[in-house]
Amino acid sequence: MPAVTIPSAPTRDCPLCPRLAAFRADNQLKLPDYFNAPVPAFGDAKPKFLIIGLAPGLHGANRTGRPFTGDWAGDLLFATLLDLGLAQGVYDERPDDGLTLKGCRIVNSVRCVPPQNKPLPAEIKTCNTFLKAEIAASPARCYLALGSIAHDAALMALGEKRSAFKFGHNRRHDLSDGRILIDSYHCSRYNTNTGVLTPKMFKEAMAHVKEAAGL
């Protein structure tokens, strides 16, 4: 039997994760005005660093089709990018708001919205094929992982041992091939509401990767 060729980006009807495909099909019926498909990366075509998130939110990126757009987390993420000169325009929670990113690009570890916002380990592993392809196609040598799951997915995609690099907020990891991974707590509603992550903390981590990337 010939080997199955997996594309570098998921198709709109990607079947590789049955649970996510079924959830997507259900949402297409319940929420027909939503994007309801694997969410593509967004940002500079030739970035200095990649921002690696977790997965689309049901009523955020799954609705709009752009990472973090319409998600609570996007309010802090895009405000910080604008404040640091890494974006220009106005973030208006719409994919057609004209916002552009400068020197950075956003990609999720899992491209499809998962039930309860919790992808399974097998789904993260399957979608890692597409994260690897995004990394391979990018000139970026620096990465900002938003949360421990994104941290682990980034290490998997980069071919590094997870045991060698422990997640920690604003922690820099110098990888075996000279690339740099920096962590941040995820800019989720839960983390910001509980004080796990403050806007100041998030700006410091973003400024850290900006500097490491030479921007």
Dump pLDDT digits (tens) for 138-159: 999 999 999 999 999 999 999 9
Confidence of residue 1 (pLDDT cuts 50, 70, 90): very low
Backbone angles phi, psi at 151, to 5 degrees: -55, -50
- Measured CA to CA, the distance from residue 170 to residue 166 in angstroms comes to 12
Mean pLDDT of 62-88: 97
Model confidence, pTM: 0.95
Question: What is the side-by-side strand order in the sheet with 104-108?
Answer: 42-43, 104-108, 49-53, 142-146, 180-184, 172-174
pLDDT > 50? residue 72: yes
